[in-house]
Amino acid sequence: MTTALNIVVLAAGRGKRMHSDRPKVLHALAGRPLLGHVLDTARGLAPARLAVVIGHGGDEVRAAFASDASHAADPDAAATADDATPIRWVTQAEQLGTGHAVMQALPELDDAAPTLVLYGDVPLTRFDTLERLVHLAGDSKLAVLTAFVGDPTGYGRIVREGSAIARIVEHKDASPEERAINEINTGVLVVPTPFLRRALAALRNDNAQGEYYLTDVIGIAVAEGVAVEAAQPEDNWEIEGVNSRAQLATLERVFQHKLAADLLERGVALADPARIDIRGTLVCGRDVFIDVGCVFEGAVALEDGVRVGPYAVLRNARIGAGTRVDAFCHIEEATVGASAVIGPYARLRPGTALADEVHIGNFVEVKNGQFGAGSKANHLSYIGDATIGARVNIGAGTITCNYDGANKHRTVIEDDVHIGSDTQLVAPVTVGAGSTVAAGTTVWRDVPAGTLALNDKTQVAKTGWVRPAKK
């Protein structure tokens, strides 16, 4: 295999069929832009130079990857963020075909290394497939990725003479006999860079679309005696591009099925592999169970024995061993300790950190709150900007009043406190260890340790009162 490689990614297309103002390559698959998937795989090949050709919405595309690092779908193939090849951005002002797009990148290429051409809207080509293609090309051959399909309509056809590739003809330019060929061109190829320069200079645009086709390079290679090899992907979804919302949705399910199959292979129990969405990375320990309809975004880790109920959404979260996350919980930028119980219908917002054996019940929201071991808020409460000690019980309907209209303030509840139902804690305030706050109390001053806090109340029972009757 070659020791150096140029990679050119074509990402200048408008994507009219997406019916969107967003550049096509920025539409998301599994929570990451299409172009991001391609760059992850490309960087796995450790290219010496990586050029991305942009056009429509180019500034937006560049901005989206301004701080880009590796997020490779194949961890074994990925370069690390520290040694990831930087992107050389190239602008194609007019979209005059794939050959014209590659022409724009020529100044960025090293003639001592072959060039691999990829496409920013073809996100799922495996690293192994590309590595095999690069190995097949070596330093002196041209290698093209082809595929055999049931319906080749719209694709360029691979025309062979005997077993050798003679040329590629685009569908619009193909004869009836050529259209019957079911071996198609994927557009992905590896080519010696000095030859690529000569071939691109010789391209003509006298075809049905008036464009400079990169595929014409194949015929030029045959005419010059440059060996042309071909390889095929293991699965045809590897070469599927995205030109419409329907195609994007199809590839989303393909990718999610692949991720689900990998989880099953690693021992994760899925209630239904067809009903899970992973939009980032999901790392699971042993004996993890995930129910239907769950969504995992960003970096999520589930330790041994975690059970996630149906339709939970976890984003950038870590869940400790043996914890149960019940149905319809939302957990974002939060950590949960071991043997905790969350939900159902609980929401943990950014900055939340729960220790072991914490219970957060139905319709409880915690924002930037820390709970000590064994503490509980089981019903209908809001805990914001609060530090909760160990073994605290927070009654139903409790609210930390953390916002005064201009600034946020913190509530501190020390160990072994019991907070009665329907309590309001007006921050900044501290409730001392071992104290009790009676139900219905508004706490606006610090509560000393070991005391009972309550507001004076008067209860009156009137006799002879008649309940109003409905008219």
Q: Output the pLDDT for position 72.
A: 40
Instruction: Compute the distance between CA of residue 331 and CA of residue 354 in angstroms, rounded to an integer.
Output: 12
Contacts of 112 (CB under 8 A, 6+ apart): 4, 193
- Please tell me the number of Cα atoms within 13 Å of 306 on its side-chain side: 24
User: By percentage, how much of the chain surpasses pLDDT 90?
Assistant: 87
Residue 468 neighbours by CB distance under 10 Å: 5
Quick one: DSSP state of residue 470? P
**pLDDT at 75 exceeding the cut of 80:** no
Which fold would CATH assign to domain 6-239?
A: Spore Coat Polysaccharide Biosynthesis Protein SpsA; Chain A (3.90.550)
SS3 content of the chain, % helix, strand, coil (to 5): 20, 30, 50
Beta strand segments in 196-293, E: 228-231, 269-270, 276-284, 289-290
SS3 of 292-324: CCEEEEEEEEECCCCEECCCCEEEEEEECCCCE
Q: Which superfamily does CATH assign the domain made up of 245-453 to?
A: Hexapeptide repeat proteins (2.160.10.10)
pLDDT category at 3 given cuts 50, 70, 90 is low
Q: Output the pLDDT for position 83.
A: 56
Q: Output the pLDDT for position 13.
A: 87
**pLDDT at 345 exceeding the cut of 60:** yes
Q: Output the pLDDT for position 15.
A: 87
Find tokens 């009972």 and name the residue. 452
Mean pLDDT along residues 54-83: 68
Quick one: DSSP state of residue 408? B
CB 187 within 8 A of CB 97: no
Query: Is the peptide bond preceding residue 448 cis, with omega within 30 degrees of 0?
Result: no
281-294 confidence digits (pLDDT tens): 999 999 999 999 99
Quick one: DSSP state of residue 448? -
Q: Output the pLDDT for position 191.
A: 97
Q: Say if residue 227 is exposed, middle or buried (CB neighbours under 10 Å; 0-12, 13-18, 19+).
A: middle
pTM surpassing 0.75? Answer: yes
pLDDT category at 67 given cuts 50, 70, 90 is confident
Q: Output the pLDDT for position 462.
A: 87
**pLDDT at 2 exceeding the cut of 60:** no
209-259 confidence digits (pLDDT tens): 889 999 899 999 999 999 999 999 999 999 999 999 999 999 999 999 999
Mean pLDDT along residues 169-182: 93
CB 309 within 8 A of CB 344: yes
**pLDDT at 181 exceeding the cut of 70:** yes
- Please tell me the number of Cα atoms within 13 Å of 7 on its side-chain side: 26
* Sequence ranges of the domains in the chain: 6-239, 245-453
Q: Output the pLDDT for position 446.
A: 98
Mean pLDDT along residues 423-431: 98
Instruction: Compute the distance between CA of residue 334 and CA of residue 367 in angstroms, rounded to an integer.
Output: 9
pLDDT category at 459 given cuts 50, 70, 90 is confident
Instruction: Compute the distance between CA of residue 261 and CA of residue 273 in angstroms, rounded to an integer.
Output: 7
Q: CA triplet 449, 455, 456: central angle to 5 degrees?
A: 130
CB 142 within 8 A of CB 217: yes
Enter the tokens of residue 235. Answer: 């699965």
Instruction: Compute the distance between CA of residue 33 and CA of residue 24 in angstroms, rounded to an integer.
Output: 9
CB 399 within 8 A of CB 384: no
- φ/ψ of residue 50, rounded to 5: -130, 110
- CA 412 remoteness from chain centre: 37
Contacts of 423 (CB under 8 A, 6+ apart): 395, 397, 398, 399, 437, 439, 440, 441, 442, 443
CB 242 within 8 A of CB 177: no
Residue 264 neighbours by CB distance under 10 Å: 12
CB 62 within 8 A of CB 77: no
What value does the mean pLDDT of the chain take? 94
**pLDDT at 79 exceeding the cut of 50:** no
**pLDDT at 77 exceeding the cut of 60:** no
Give me the catalytic one of 257, 379, 409, 418.
379
Which of 370, 374, 307 is closest to 344 using CA atoms? Answer: 307
191-220 confidence digits (pLDDT tens): 999 999 999 999 999 887 889 999 899 999
pLDDT category at 260 given cuts 50, 70, 90 is very high
Q: Output the pLDDT for position 207.
A: 82
Which residue stretches of 65-192 are H helix? Answer: 98-105, 127-137, 176-179
- The question of whether 379 is a catalytic residue gets the answer yes
pLDDT category at 39 given cuts 50, 70, 90 is very high
Q: Which of 5-9, 83-87, 276-280, 416-420 has the lowest average pLDDT?
A: 83-87
Q: Which of 31-35, 73-77, 198-202, 369-373 has the lowest average pLDDT?
A: 73-77
SS3 123: coil
Rg (CA), the chain: 30
**pLDDT at 416 exceeding the cut of 90:** yes
